[in-house]
Structure 1
Amino acid sequence: MQVLSSIAAVREARAAVGATLGFVPTMGFLHEGHLSLVRRAKTECGAVAVSIFINPTQFAPGEDLDRYPRALERDLDLLRGAGAAFVFTPQAAEMYPPGFATSIDVGPVARPLEGAVRPGHFSGVATVVTKLFNIVQPTRAYFGQKDGQQCAVIRRLVTDLNMPLEVMVCDTVRSESGLALSSRNSYLGAEERERAVLLHESLRAAQARVAAGERDASVVREVVRSVLAREPAFAVDYVSVADPLELNELEWIGDEALVSLAVRVGATRLIDNMVVRPGMN
């Protein structure tokens, strides 16, 4: 496995790989969710590239850029075991040299939910993902459903800019308790981790209610909130029942809906989501 820190080296490695390349962009501190993406890419592509880059432009002032967890050597060992062909580990100056001034606005899909709570976040995501796609030139790029709005943003980006690649969205990987795996889970204490299980329980309650025939989105939102209310210490940023592709809030659930939430558990902000469908068990 090659570990590459320059754009020029990545382009040389990409040329040597051949036709089909899977790509998993990450910010490091890898967990089983990331590794599941690498393994799937490995089964579907001739080779797999991974990036590890904590992108400063998607963090607002006062967010956790400086304390975001880092474990580069451990990450590289995990990626060797998973069969990555090369890993791109640039410094910020490589991605954003002096004079860099371009940013990307993906439009309405980036404005609600995380976009409303974290202004500028998705512009930073879209800009760095565009750069990474241009540098790595993947055939397919793999993302986890846990970051549901990010997946919708990237799909819109790829469609609107006619990028020649497939966006592959893979199921959320969860712990035995149901907590969605996230690098930020490392911030949670043991008691907070136990309480955070309610996030998944609230989504499962919404899924069960829709499967039983409920179509009124306001009722489904209230189902989620009622489960989260069992933990008075939670601070709920939002509960959403929206169209999975455009993220418009729904009044009535048709074929499917994306139920998503953001909750502060102590000092840690967690997100989760689930696609629900009438009749789905």
Structure 2
Amino acid sequence: MLNTSLTKLDALKAKLDQYRPLDLQVVNNLHENLVLQWTYHSNAIEGNTLTLKETKVALEGITVGGKTLREHFEAINHRDAILFVDELVSKQQPLDERTIKSLHQLVLKNVDADSAGRYRDINVLISGATHKPPQAIQVPEQMQAFIHWYNTEANALHPVERAARVHGEFVKIHPFVDGNGRTARLLMNLELMKAGFPATVIEVEQRLDYYQALDNAHCSGNYTDFIALVAQCVEKSFAPYWWALGIEAKVAKHLEELGYGS
């Protein structure tokens, strides 16, 4: 079942590749929408109370009444982190600890300067999760092992599976005091985008399924459910491209001919 999903995603990517390079206006319009959706949902998952429209206003530099300064900074920081991911994609930047710390520094800029870009020196628990992250003293060693895994075993994985596993293995270590979830989703999309897939948004409405699939993966070592969830999100992330290109019906017919239905 999972292999079928991944093969379907390959077919969707191949279809999108036929239309590349996309018109610059289309690219800019899609990117603007992506930044807003990704920023809103990723922050909302972590408890930020800005609505989608309030997030749009905050990104335009306007203060929203009744919302904290921290919530405004979280929106602006996340936008800046996405722009940094775009740079890394253009350079095909391989994952390393420096890149991870730089991303995290952007996520927590003006929010928690002491923790931004620095591995935690305290032990933490993930609220509501069965999995317990490693003790603080083990974090540097486990992050080195994570990067080694990325540079060796991860290369053999399908890009979508690799992106999901990067997210999962990173957040399992929980190397920072705060901002791990947002950083994990940025790293996941860094991998997807480097491989030519669209950036994907895990929506706040999926939070329960998302947390459960992650916790199950961390406790059992079986990532099937989490990879399937990410694969569903990736499939959905192609939809704005089909709309912008005016080829929704054509893509549906193409999938049907390949045996995937509509």
- TM-score range (shorter-chain normalised) is under 0.3
TM-score normalised per structure 1: 0.26
TM-score normalised per structure 2: 0.28
Task: Decide which structure has greater helix share.
Answer: 2
Task: Decide which structure has greater strand share.
Answer: 1
